[in-house]
């Protein structure tokens, strides 16, 4: 027998903490759909307008701008999901993010096909680009998850429901319903992983999250209320109602942050 001391086995890390994240991986695989599952050609791409050809063209421009905003958001989401996959150190989270990269890419594919049917790409929402830069340039993994999955993907779900309700019997409705489910999973997984990361994060990281929320929320509000030229007229009619709805949504976001154990007393809501 050797007199060498037996090298002590490094204690196996307790991975049961990651069971929640792994559950979202299973859920994502279960919910996975294909762009060919969308009933292309069996229903109109977006609601068809009535009245004069000019009126119909105006209506189509409005819907085109709705689709454009979602396409823009999902292209940014592709880059963001790829960053999360690269930055996450935990195997369970990496497995999960590999599905999120596929989801955001599939969303983009669906929007690209849809926008081709309604006149092609249009005006970009500058606030969405600003939000994208905020996510992509955030310093820590905790901050990226917080901005993207805890806030953005949660705040976007009621918008999908709203668009779906006003576009019954169209391809747009079908896609919005699928994306509301997918983003529910993206949000849930982010909450589960962020909770684990914050258990070990230094206090300073948590403080950064509150600062990041204060930078993000006003920009998100601008994004939610932004109307391209095509929608300006309708925009002003809807703005009061939109503001009310947005206020409720942002308050919900703050409650979520509190449920992660963050001190949200310093969060300033834009209204």
Residues that bind Fe ion (CB under 5 A): 74, 77, 104, 107, 153, 183, 186
In this complex, which beta carbon is closest to Fe ion, that of residue 129 or of residue 269?
Answer: 129
In this complex, which beta carbon is closest to Fe ion, that of residue 61 or of residue 97?
Answer: 97
- What is the C-alpha to C-alpha distance for residues 60 and 48, in angstroms, rounded to an integer? 7
185 with 48: CB under 8 angstroms?
no
Contacts of 205 (CB under 8 A, 6+ apart): 140, 142, 143, 198
- What is the C-alpha to C-alpha distance for residues 45 and 114, in angstroms, rounded to an integer? 7
118 with 64: CB under 8 angstroms?
yes
Please state the closest distance from residue 207 (CB atom) to Fe ion, in A.
Answer: 27
Residue 68 backbone dihedrals phi, psi, to 5 degrees: -60, -45
Please state the closest distance from residue 104 (CB atom) to Fe ion, in A.
Answer: 5
In this complex, which beta carbon is closest to Fe ion, that of residue 62 or of residue 81?
Answer: 81
In this complex, which beta carbon is closest to Fe ion, that of residue 65 or of residue 108?
Answer: 108
In this complex, which beta carbon is closest to Fe ion, that of residue 23 or of residue 58?
Answer: 23
- What is the C-alpha to C-alpha distance for residues 93 and 190, in angstroms, rounded to an integer? 9
Please state the closest distance from residue 179 (CB atom) to Fe ion, in A.
Answer: 6
Please state the closest distance from residue 34 (CB atom) to Fe ion, in A.
Answer: 15
In this complex, which beta carbon is closest to Fe ion, that of residue 105 or of residue 214?
Answer: 105
Please state the closest distance from residue 58 (CB atom) to Fe ion, in A.
Answer: 28
Q: Which own/partner contact pairs does 80-83 have at CB distance under 8 Å and 24+ positions apart?
A: 80/104, 80/132, 80/135, 80/136, 80/144, 80/148, 83/136, 83/144
Q: Dihedral of CA 247/249/250/251: which sign? A: positive
Please state the closest distance from residue 142 (CB atom) to Fe ion, in A.
Answer: 18
- What is the C-alpha to C-alpha distance for residues 137 and 111, in angstroms, rounded to an integer? 25
Helix axis angle for 171-200 and 157-165, nearest 10°, is: 170
In this complex, which beta carbon is closest to Fe ion, that of residue 77 or of residue 88?
Answer: 77
């Amino acid at each position: 027998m050797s007199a060498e001391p037996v090298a002590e086995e490094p204690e196996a890390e307790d991975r049961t903490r990651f069971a929640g994240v792994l559950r979202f991986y299973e859920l994502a695989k279960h919910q996975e759909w294909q762009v060919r599952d969308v009933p292309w050609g069996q229903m109109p791409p977006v609601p068809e307008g009535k009245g004069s050809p000019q009126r119909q063209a105006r209506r189509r421009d409005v819907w085109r701008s709705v689709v454009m905003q979602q396409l823009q958001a999902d292209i940014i989401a592709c880059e963001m999901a790829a960053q999360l996959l690269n930055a996450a150190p935990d195997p369970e989270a990496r497995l999960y993010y590999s599905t999120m990269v596929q989801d955001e890419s599939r969303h983009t594919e669906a929007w690209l096909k849809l926008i081709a049917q309604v006149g092609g790409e249009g005006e970009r929402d500058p606030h969405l680009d600003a939000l994208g830069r905020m996510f992509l340039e955030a310093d820590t993994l905790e901050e990226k998850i917080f901005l993207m999955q805890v806030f953005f993907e949660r705040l976007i779900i009621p918008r999908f429901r709203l668009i779906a309700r006003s576009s019954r019997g169209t391809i747009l409705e079908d896609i919005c319903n699928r994306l509301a489910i997918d983003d529910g999973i993206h949000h849930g997984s982010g909450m589960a992983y962020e909770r684990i990361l914050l258990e070990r994060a230094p206090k300073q990281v948590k403080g950064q999250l509150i600062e990041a929320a204060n930078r993000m929320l006003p920009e998100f509000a601008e994004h939610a209320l932004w109307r391209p030229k095509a929608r300006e007229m309708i925009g002003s009619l809807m703005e009061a109602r939109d503001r009310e709805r947005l206020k409720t949504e942002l308050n919900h976001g703050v409650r979520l942050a509190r449920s992660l154990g963050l001190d949200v007393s310093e969060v300033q809501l834009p209204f």
